[in-house]
Amino acid sequence: MSERNEASLADQIDALLPQTQCRKCGYQGCRPYAEAISNGEADIDQCPPGGDQGIQLLAELLNVPAKPLNPEFGVQRPLQIAVIDETACIGCTKCLPPCPTDAILGASKQMHTVIAALCTGCELCVAPCPVNCISMVVSTNTEWTKANADLSRLRHQAKNQRQVKAEAEKSERLNRQKQLLAKLNKGKTTV
């Protein structure tokens, strides 16, 4: 299979995944999992948020038999969202970086809150919280739709692009500082 066809298959698989970016499948998000499936490195039964319906869609796309969700990766359950006990939140910001869709709003030493409509229920914010003020509750939105997945994918991609740009800018600043220090040190040795 050519690289173009593999990319196309990965795109098709990614389009069927729920885009929760929860990493329960063992990969760093939905796109890496889609690529692993398309390359034959992962099975179709590793996505708890996609559940039986997601497995069925992947099976149909790949023309393979459907199978039950592999319990090694979790269990299918109702859509959940993160909720922050705002009275207990200390504003440490440790929940912000792991959120794949920037669904948590807050600043250092300020109370944080979750924008429920943007939360994918990934649970990645729970473990870093030093005061255990984040809990997962069943969402009032009982169905995760393709529109939810598309928005989640866009927000995740935007966050990744912003992080790459910030890293490049940081690296550029550090290089300029190193060059300036080298010039200063060179000037000291010639005096």
Structure confidence by residue, pLDDT tens digits, 4-55:
555 689 999 999 999 999 999 999 999 999 999 999 999 999 999 999 999 9
The confidence score (pLDDT) of residue 185 equals 83
The confidence score (pLDDT) of residue 1 equals 45
Structure tokens at 140: 């009032």
Q: What ranges in the chain are assigned the alpha helix state H?
A: 3-16, 30-38, 51-62, 146-190
* Gyration radius of the chain over CA positions: 21
The confidence score (pLDDT) of residue 29 equals 95
- According to DSSP, the residues that pair with 84 across neighbouring strands are 134
The confidence score (pLDDT) of residue 144 equals 87
Q: Boundaries of CATH 3.30.70.20 in the chain?
A: 78-144
DSSP state of 42: S
Task: Tell me the percentage of the chain whose pLDDT exceeds 90.
Answer: 79
The alpha carbon of residue 180 and the mean position of all alpha carbons in its chain are separated, in whole angstroms, by 38
Measured N-to-C along each axis, helices 51-62 and 3-16 cross at an angle, to the nearest 10 degrees, of: 150
Question: What CATH code would you report for 78-144?
Answer: 3.30.70.20
11 C-beta neighbours (distance < 10 Å), count: 13
Average pLDDT in the chain: 92
Measured N-to-C along each axis, helices 3-16 and 30-38 cross at an angle, to the nearest 10 degrees, of: 130
114 C-beta neighbours (distance < 10 Å), count: 20
The confidence score (pLDDT) of residue 2 equals 46
Residue 183's pLDDT band, with cuts at 50, 70 and 90, is confident
Q: Boundaries of CATH 1.10.15.40 in the chain?
A: 3-73
The rounded distance, in Å, linking the Cα atoms of 21 and 127 is 16
Confirm if 104 and 114 have CB atoms less than 8 A apart: yes
Structure tokens at 133: 């003020």
Fold adopted by 3-73 = 3-methyladenine DNA Glycosylase II; Chain A, domain 3 (1.10.15)
Q: What are phi and psi of 81, to 5 degrees?
A: -135, 155
Residue 160's pLDDT band, with cuts at 50, 70 and 90, is very high
